[in-house]
A and B are shown apart, each in its own frame.
Chain A
């Protein structure tokens, strides 16, 4: 039996884990908006502090969170470097001036701001969604949040059902891939040596039977679903009904307060010419 965890879900019992998945989707959107509202040094400090607070609240170990930040380290470094060299400040003397390279203090700050913004966005979305919400809960939430689109004839239920089935069959098909690969190895197949092209070619005898069996499965599943009276989303009831709790409103309210604070800081910053506005 393959032991795989889908996505990066990190089981737990924190407030973030127990939040309604719909509220979490909304929360992560609000948080991304918040990170874009930051305009000056103090608002970025506040944003950074809120990201730290989120990690503490979620009780997810820092090293796990760092994993998702590390995945984007290249993009982060790239944008930071761009900002350092690109930003010009007509009101100040350059910090470094060497041939065509000029670096201003403002550029350094902007690079720092961008880093904080990206880190905050990663932390916000991963803590609200990927780490604390199981894929199936996320599917449920998206189905219900997007439900109004059904009025525009967008097949929301169908997409959600496809997602559910995909999630259900990923482990099964992984198991099967394992079995087929073992069977091919027993017949002398070699998946680990040779050039990239050779290795890709070696996978063909795995992929072909895998597809054949996936189609057979799909056919049988469709029959079984028909036998269980599946006829689309119409008139369907649900065993698990999502319910908003006080904690959901509390977290959303806290995020709105965060946005209010950021906006206030921005306004104050603009009036008093605080440090390095973006």
Chain B
């Protein structure tokens, strides 16, 4: 627990929710040999954080997410520990042998997962019944069930579609229904495994907006796995995975400052940040956060005005 105190001062002593410690993982290949996916990963997730996990295809980010929910098929080559709070003891290692089936259900209730393809995670033929699927499995009584479904649909702004058939909705709407299905289980943490990757720009905006709302208004810890850099710019913290190792972990500003490291990991800076850094390298002094287009524009404008005042006749 001391870890949570020593962290970023802006974290206001938040409790540790998940602590991944020295986690290594490998799949069993077809020839029986292990194919390493994660090696010695250490990661602490505090309650209420909005973390983006970045990584190129095959960097192990999805595997990490699946391990947090215990939905990988084969644990032969799983080493290390994943400590989770809220499962009885102070911090429980979910990879340990003594996890009962009940514990696993408890874990999955508190850590909800939203996947990439919205079509493949909706179960029922009517939106509200799909949202009810999770709580139904948990045995939530009927009156409470109704309330949870209505609240969850309101949170994602899909109330008017409660009676619709999922296959008639747009991708972004389907994904919001999938999110509502998780919210209805009242999780403490939600993992989005490339949940915006298959959506058009509009759908992506809808889903990211919902994710931020959940984090800010509902206080749900969000772990978003993506390879879109502009999504990372809005997070509290960015973790970069490359070849199964965490190579960067910090605020978006800190991470984006390491342009070269990112490029080696197969990732590009957000275009605006790249442009701003180019200007900086050419001697333009830019101040403030350079993570999103607005603040970049602001910084450039400021520099431009400065230059104008500096180049007044007689000043030089």
Contact = CB atoms under 8 A, between A and B. Distances in A.
A212 interface: no
Contacts of A217: 117, 119-120
A260 B288 CA distance: 87
A142 to B, nearest CB: 15
Interface in A188-222: 217, 220-221
Nearest to A135: B125
B120 A224 contact: yes
Nearest to A241: B142
Interface residues of B, number: 42
B164 to A, nearest CB: 12
Contacts of B135: 237
Contacts of A229: 105, 108-109, 134, 137-138, 185
B101 A231 contact: yes
A236 B140 CA distance: 8
B199 interface: no
B228 interface: no
B139 A235 contact: yes
B142 A238 contact: yes
B154 interface: no
Of A135, A175, A223, A235, most B-chain CB atoms within 10 Å: A223
A117 to B, nearest CB: 35
Given A164-B125, A172-B167, A220-B121, A228 B134 contact: yes
Interface in B284-305: none
Contacts, number: 95
A239 B122 contact: no
Contacts of A112: none
Contacts of B50: none
Contacts of A221: 120-121, 123
Of A136, A227, A238, most B-chain CB atoms within 10 Å: A227
Nearest to A4: B167
A185 interface: no
Classify the secondary structure of A's interface with B: helix
B105 A231 contact: yes
Nearest to A226: B71
Nearest to B111: A227
A224 B142 contact: no
A172 B123 CA distance: 12
A239 B117 contact: no
Given A168-B166, A237-B140, A241-B142, A220 B117 contact: yes
Interface of A: 1, 135-136, 164-165, 167-168, 171-172, 175, 217, 220-221, 223-231, 235-241
Given A168-B166, A220-B120, A237-B136, 10 more contacts: A164-B123, A164-B125, A167-B125, A217-B117, A228-B123, A228-B182, A237-B139, A237-B140, A238-B132, A239-B146
18 contacts: A1-B168, A165-B123, A171-B167, A217-B119, A220-B120, A223-B66, A223-B71, A223-B115, A228-B133, A229-B138, A230-B133, A231-B105, A237-B135, A237-B145, A238-B136, A239-B136, A239-B146, A240-B129
